[in-house]
């Protein structure tokens, strides 16, 4: 298994440009997440999805959009890039069963380093 | 979400055990204790998790206090590859839909 893959690895955007960060997982996980990590800080949740067709906002969703048309893919869209969106973006996935009182670990991709100038 | 408190940084020598503490005094009865680590320029990596009993796996051990208000991640024999930021995170039972809440973690420095 490749696990969680993200493209691109690096990107420089000009203010006002748009782009899509791609995320794919091959573990048949139902949950997927997008986080951002600013320098010296922990990760913050942008959006998450509990299954195909279902998405919800996390802690810092402003300026981003997501879609989940398949189990495998969870792209993150930046419509009007701003310098405040300069960060490292991580996609993650996990498997969860609502009826089971247990926890499952999240698997993270290698990240996309985005600079907006 | 219940919060965790960790030291900003810790230093240890290679091939010695490392004990990384975490305080979570407001933990609820159904919260699991998770540990992740992040190596330089990589995404976070799951290490271990537990609820009440101590847990062991191939990477580490997790010791949970009887009152569950604190826990300790134990690396039995640190190597240079264990130098990373270690995050202690609480997750509700059956949860995970709303993601993990990361603090700043503990920056572990391993001296050769």
| E strand spans, B52-102 | 55-56, 61-64, 70-75, 84-92
- Identify the sign of the CA torsion A109, B20, B99, A10: negative
**In this complex, do B99 and A45 lie within 8 Å of one another by their Cβ atoms?**
yes
Residues of B in Cβ contact (< 8 Å) with A48: 97-99
- Find tokens 């991580």 and name the residue: A90
Q: How far apart are the first and last CA of chain B?
A: 38
Distance separating alpha carbons of residues B43 and B41, to the nearest angstrom: 7
Residue of A nearest to B35 (CA): A105
Q: What is the pLDDT along chain A (117 residues), one digit of tens a residue?
A: 789 999 999 999 999 999 999 999 999 999 999 999 998 888 999 999 989 999 999 999 999 999 999 999 999 999 999 999 999 999 999 887 655 555 678 899 999 999 999
Residues of A in Cβ contact (< 8 Å) with B57: none
B49 to chain A, minimum CA–CA distance in Å?
8
């Amino acid at each position: 298994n490749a696990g969680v893959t993200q493209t691109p690895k690096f990107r420089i955007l000009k203010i006002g440009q748009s782009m899509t960060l791609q995320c794919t997982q091959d573990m048949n996980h139902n949950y997927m997440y997008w986080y951002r990590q600013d320098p010296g800080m922990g990760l913050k949740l942008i959006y998450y999805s509990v299954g195909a067709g279902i998405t919800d906002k996390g802690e810092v969703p402003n300026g981003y959009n997501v879609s989940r048309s398949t189990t495998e893919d969870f792209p993150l869209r930046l419509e009007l890039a701003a310098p405040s969106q300069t960060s490292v973006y991580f996609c993650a996935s996990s498997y969860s069963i609502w009826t089971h009182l247990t926890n499952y670990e999240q698997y993270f991709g290698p990240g996309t380093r985005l600079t907006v100038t | 979400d219940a919060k965790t408190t960790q030291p900003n940084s810790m230093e240890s020598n290679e091939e010695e055990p490392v004990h990384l503490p975490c305080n979570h005094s407001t933990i609820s009865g159904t919260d699991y204790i998770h540990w992740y680590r992040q190596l330089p320029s990589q995404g976070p990596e799951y290490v271990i998790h537990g609820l009440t009993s101590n847990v062991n796996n191939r990477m580490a051990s997790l010791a949970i206090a009887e009152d569950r208000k604190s826990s300790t991640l134990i690396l039995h024999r640190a190597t240079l590859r264990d130098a990373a930021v270690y995050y202690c995170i609480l997750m509700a039972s059956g949860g995970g839909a709303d993601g993990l809440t990361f603090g700043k973690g503990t920056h572990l420095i391993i001296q050769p």
